[in-house]
Amino acid sequence: MTELPLTGITVLDFSQFLAGPVAALRLADLGARVIKIERPGSGDAGRRLAFAGLMVGDDSMSFHTMNRNKESLVADLKDPDDLARVRALVAEVDVVVSNFRPGVMERLGLDYETVRELNPGIVYGSVSGYGDTGPFKDRPGQDLLAQSIAGLPWLNGSRDDPPVPVGLAVADHLASCHLAQGITALLVRRFRTGRGGHTQTSLLEALLDLEFELLTTRLNDPSIEVRRKGIRSAHAFLPAPYGIYPTSDGYLAIAMNPVPVIGRLLELPEVAAMTDPQDWWDRQEEIEELLSDRLRARTRDEWLAVLDAEDVWCAPVLTLDELVDHDGFRAIAMTQEIKRDGLDLITTRSPIRIDGERLLNPRPAPRLGEHEEIA
């Protein structure tokens, strides 16, 4: 691709850890030039936060993944000379990204209201843990903590489980998408009108948006209680057979399907006879156990052959090893290779395709202060 959609846009990225850096990464993948502003000595705290303890050279593998295709400028924002140098950059760039707790950028004189005096057309994107007001605003904005406040661990798992968090940084990743979307929308507005703006989101807002089905139902009918169900169910508001079931050698996911159809295909006459949809709610756990007992009799792939032939909505539950070895994983080509200091690293690419082309860039994460010539 000769020119990406955000080619010519320059982003100044003050953020660290995950939500802000990944939002900036999404802009970089679309063609923007992203300059990280990092503290002297240690840089972005994410350089040392190693998921699974894995380091690649001097930086964590996760840092390489989240900060590829960026530049690094070291600046002590409490030093007047360094701050003046950064403010000169702010006056020239298109976008600023930050993810500090409320009040930090204000104390540095780099908040939106101050920055737009230097650069009236600036697009400013900020992400926090819980917004700028309310009793949660000063709490640490970390993924597990945000999940917990949003009730996600309580929604996850089955009735008899303790709270079960999602085993991924789901709040950070969702917030990064929303922040990048808001920034891109303001860039479009600026191209139309010349007006910049400030887009904001938070980990909590990202998770509440994720929970829109349950929240909308509960808020409009307070008599409805959101309750986790039995060990096979995969959704508090969907009846049987929606869930995950054991087979003789793995697990099988079954989505929204008429119960009698499943009963017929699994040769379960008592389930095939359940033609009243109310039974799919009232007898949900009974149906799930009947399906489980039957599905254990054969392998996952044997059952998939039976169900796929009838266009039943189902899928194998793959382990991570099975996924990366699968032809489907290779076909979607979600990986790319980056190189730095003689080290090779395979990571994910942008999930976006433009004009049929995947967005690939082999440029690695920067070494700390690698691009001091910027200012």
The residues assigned a catalytic role are 172
- CB count in 10 Å sphere of residue 206: 23
Residue 280 — φ and ψ, nearest 5°?
A: -65, -25
Q: On the CB side of 178, how many CA atoms lie within 13 Å of its CA?
A: 22
Q: On the CB side of 49, how many CA atoms lie within 13 Å of its CA?
A: 12
Q: Across 3-119, where does the E strand assignment appear?
A: 10-13, 33-38, 55-56, 59-60, 71-74, 95-98
DSSP 31: T
Spatial contact of 123 and 86, defined as CB atoms under 8 Å apart: no
Picking from 44, 60, 26, 47, the residue whose alpha carbon sits closest to that of residue 100 is 44
**Collapsed DSSP state (helix, strand, coil) of residue 52:** helix
CA 108 – CA 76 distance, rounded (Å):
11
